[in-house]
Homo-oligomer: A and B are copies of this chain.
Amino acid sequence: MNQFPEAGQVIVEDGFLKHYMEIVAHCALPYQWQMLNGELGENPTMRNFRIATGDEQGAFGGVPYQDTDLAKWLDAVGCALGNERNPELEALADAAIDTIVRAQDADGYLDTYYQLVCPDRKWTDPESHELYCFGHMIEAGVSYSEGTGKRALLEAACRLADHVGRVFGPAEGKLHGYRGHEIIEMALVRLAAHTGEACYLRLAEWFVHARHDTPEAFYRGERKEGNPLDYGSWGWGDPERETSSYEHVTGHAVRAMYLYSGMADVARLMGDEKLLAHCTALFTGLTRRQMYITGGIGATSVLEAFTYPYDLPNDTLYAETCASVGLCFFAQRMALAERDSCYADAVERCIFNLLPAAVAQDGEHYFYVNPLQVNAEACLKSPLKTHVKPERQPWFDCACCPPNLARFFASLPRYLYAYSAKGVTVHQYAPSAARFQMDGGSMTVRQSTGYPFDGVVQIAVEQEVSFRQELALRIPDWCESWALCDVWGDPMNVRPEKGYLNVEIYGSCAFTLTLDMTPRLMQANRRVREDAGLAALQRGPVVYCVEQADNGELLENLSVKARSPIRIEMRNDVKGFGPYPAMRLRGETDATEPRTELYFPCAQRRDTEITAVPYCLWGERTVGEMLVWLRRT
């Protein structure tokens, strides 16, 4: 069976992804600690725990799931410490964990909102976020144990999980369902894998199936036809609409991803083929009909939800950072269950586009909503766009995204490779080294590459014991032409199967994989009305955008010429990022002088030069307009 790498098995050595891991480890995590500890202005997160221990007097502050900000931060710190030691950060985390452990009730309960505000109402509100708080803290306990070997938070996590197991389950007298925000499912699976305690996996399985089998326990009868919260994401399928409910996802985007991640875990680990088939269908529907080209998901801010297939507005969208983190969770789990490159393709789309865009180079500013078309005036004045921000923000009232993004980037090494008894799969390209102990001996894979800005990937394999193994290399979905050559430069005769080149390894060896990175004009499926007739610029996995900084205002008037050659021009104007390839191409723009009339006969257009930069860097130089989908002439 395929497995995730564990802490320390994969080292990202350099390049684009390492850059974002370092932003998180060295900038974002210290900054976020100060934020959560109230050192940068009012923030109740850490104080709530101190009040719960009695160390401090005061009242609970923040949102009912305020605890999760700290849990995600500890999760991130645990992962980051597994990548690289940092005694200062570890000391902060250890102190926080000490407080957390002391805040936990004797029966394992830990949710400072309920403990401080309404202790008599624990487990009474099916809409509450208690399981969400529990799940995030369990994940933090596992990550911190993996990254540091320290078990205090892991033991707290086990007490949390044991508490959940006493409260929930099929037995009479237990609660049979709870509607709040998902995560407990995949948290329990991780805890089971880390501790070896199968009871947690069985509890996760029960949660997943209970949503399907006894939805009334989750919904208290208030489900209504046509309400986007009805089914799909919150239940993983409507039992009365078995055939249609897997065709596309509905409901709250983040919740959907977390639930599907738990479903994928359970399906894989329990060998549940039917559940896995549902997951496959949901993933296919999601990525083929409801995903932005940047990896964003969630088309509307109304209930932070999906809408319907091919409805992908670029300006009124939600495309929450957490939703794309969740998409990676789901995709990674599916990639373990099924050898098909579509899963790693989706991860790639997120990690080179939306997710790095969501954090500034200083690690202290973030996007929550990730538009593909933005101008500051609309964000201020259009009632449909006030949730969209034209620049990264230092923090949010509901600050789910910054620490979630941190824990994702800190755990990124685990997305690059997977391994099994038979060999190693390379899902993502990045300068990195991975070493796995397998049946018959260890195998080390090292990549040297300038990916994603360069398409040449040099791969060296070392086997300690000579034994036939397999190395699978993904051919990305965007790549129309590639070559795999041996050390002498001779092409190797291997063809991709479901998107992977399977290379047989009989000893230490080296290859060069060359992926053609010719810049391309991309179009969307014709059913995407918002993008009809438009083109996006892409090079390798990197989606580009145009910005006011390079192209002036009113970007919507630009159009690209379908057959214009696209030149690559190296730039170095994003502080902290280093050189990157910009695109230059010829296009047209409106030729009318500023005039007072609102409507008049069409005027000729004039030629212009268009400059595009990687989407992940938008808004880094100046605040202004940004646009991904350009008109096409």
- Copies of this protein in the assembly total 2
A602 at interface by CB-CB < 8 Å: yes
CB distance from A630 to the nearest CB of B (A): 9
Distance of A266 from chain B, by nearest CB (Å): 27
A308 engages B382 (CB within 8 Å): yes
Instruction: Give the docked Cα–Cα distance between A533 and B602 (Å).
Output: 9
Please indicate the chain B residues that have their CB under 8 angstroms from the CB of A308 in the complex: 377, 381-382
Residue-wise interface mask of A (545-563) relative to B, using a CB-CB cutoff of 8 A (1 in contact, 0 not): 0000000001011010010
Interchain CA distance A532-B592 in the complex, whole Å = 12
A633 at the interface (CB under 8 A from B): yes
Query: Given A316-B384, A383-B302, does the pair A600, B523 have CB atoms closer than 8 Å?
Result: yes
Confirm or deny: A230 has a beta carbon within 8 angstroms of a beta carbon on chain B.
no
> With contacts A556-B532, A556-B533 known, is A522 near B600, CB below 8 A?
yes
Are A526 and B602 closer than 8 Å at their CB atoms? no
A574: CB under 8 A from chain B?
no
Quick one: which of B293, B480, B533 contacts A601, CB cutoff 8 A?
B480
Residue of B nearest to A250 (CB): B381
**Closest residue on chain B to residue A381 by CB atoms:** B308
In this complex, the member of A378, A533, A536 whose beta carbon has the largest number of chain B beta carbons within 10 angstroms is: A533
The reply to whether A599 and B522 contact each other, CB–CB distance below 8 Å, is: yes
Q: Which residues of B contact A631 (CB under 8 A)?
A: 532-533, 631
Q: Does A597 contact B (CB under 8 A)?
A: yes
Contact of A554 among B521, B527, B595 (CB under 8 A): B527
Say yes or no: is A211 at the interface (Cβ < 8 Å to chain B): no
- Is residue A590 contacting chain B, with contact meaning CB distance below 8 A? yes
Residues of chain B contacted by A594 (CB below 8 angstroms): 526
- Shortest beta-carbon distance, A127 to chain B, in Å? 20
Residue A311 is within 8 A (CB to CB) of chain B in the complex: yes
Q: Which of A159-167, A284-292, A578-586 contacts B (4 or more CB under 8 A)?
A: A284-292
Q: Which of A477-528 contact B (CB under 8 A)?
A: 480, 520-528
Contact A602 B559 (CB under 8 A): no
CB interface residues, A 593-616, toward B, < 8 Å: 594-603
For A528, list chain B residues within 8 Å (CB): 598
A521 touching B601, Cβ below 8 Å: yes
A374 to chain B, nearest CB (A): 11
- Whether A321 sits at the interface, judged by CB under 8 Å, is no
Given A288-B598, A293-B599, A302-B383, A554 contacting B525 (CB threshold 8 A): no
A228 at the interface (CB under 8 A from B): yes
Please give, as numbers and ranges, the residues of chain B lying within 8 Å of A382 by CB-CB distance: 300, 307-308, 311
The distance in angstroms between the C-alpha atoms of A603 and B535, with both chains bound, is 10
Shortest beta-carbon distance, A541 to chain B, in Å? Answer: 12
Most chain B CB within 10 A, of A529, A556, A599, A603, is at A599
CA distance in complex: A521, B382 (Å): 29
Tell me if A632 is interfacial: C-beta within 8 Å of chain B. Answer: yes
* A375 interfacial by beta-carbon distance below 8 Å: yes
With both chains docked as a complex, state the minimum distance between the C-beta of A599 and any C-beta of chain B, in angstroms.
Answer: 5
Number of interface residues of A (CB under 8 A): 58
| Bound-state Cα–Cα, A306 to B554, Å | 21
Task: Check B526–A557 contact: CB distance below 8 A.
Answer: yes
Tell me the residues in window 272-307 of chain A with beta carbons closer than 8 Å to chain B beta carbons.
Answer: 287-289, 291, 293, 300, 302-303, 305, 307
The reply to whether B316 and A535 form a contact with Cβ atoms under 8 Å apart is no
CB distance from A191 to the nearest CB of B (A): 35
Contact indicator B598/A525 (Cβ below 8 Å) = yes
Chain B neighbourhood of A530, CB < 8 A: 556
Kindly identify which residue among B524, B527, B633 contacts A599, using a CB–CB cutoff of 8 Å: B524
Contact A599 B536 (CB under 8 A): yes
Chain B neighbourhood of A596, CB < 8 A: 288
Q: Which residues of B contact A557 (CB under 8 A)?
A: 526, 532-533
Q: Which of B378, B384, B523, B562 contacts A302 (CB 8 A)?
A: B384
Q: Which residues from chain B contact A599 at a C-beta distance below 8 Å?
A: 293, 522-525, 536
Contact of A602 among B287, B384, B535 (CB under 8 A): B535
The contact string, 1 if C-beta is below 8 Å from chain B, for chain A 78-95, is 000000000000000000
Cβ of B602 and Cβ of A522 under 8 Å apart?
yes
Alpha-carbon separation in the docked complex, A51 to B523 (Å): 63
> What 0/1 readout, one digit per residue, does chain A (305-348) give for beta carbons within 8 Å of chain B?
10110010100100000000000000000000000000000000
A444 → chain B closest CB, angstroms: 35
Q: Do A598 and B524 form a contact, CB below 8 Å, given A554-B532, A590-B532?
A: yes
A293 to chain B: which residues have CB within 8 Å? 598-599
Q: Within residues 123 to 150 of chain A, which ones have a CB less than 8 A from any CB in chain B?
A: none
* Complex Cα–Cα for A273 and B184 (A): 70
A300-B384, A533-B557 given; name 6 further pairs at CB < 8 Å: A522-B599, A523-B601, A525-B599, A529-B554, A532-B556, A602-B632
Please, could you name 12 A-B residue pairs with CB atoms under 8 Å apart, sorted by A?
Answer: A288-B596, A288-B598, A303-B383, A308-B377, A311-B378, A313-B384, A522-B600, A524-B598, A525-B598, A526-B590, A527-B554, A528-B598
Per CB-CB distance, the 7 closest pairs between chain A and chain B, nearest first, are: A532-B556, A302-B383, A533-B631, A308-B381, A526-B590, A529-B556, A521-B602
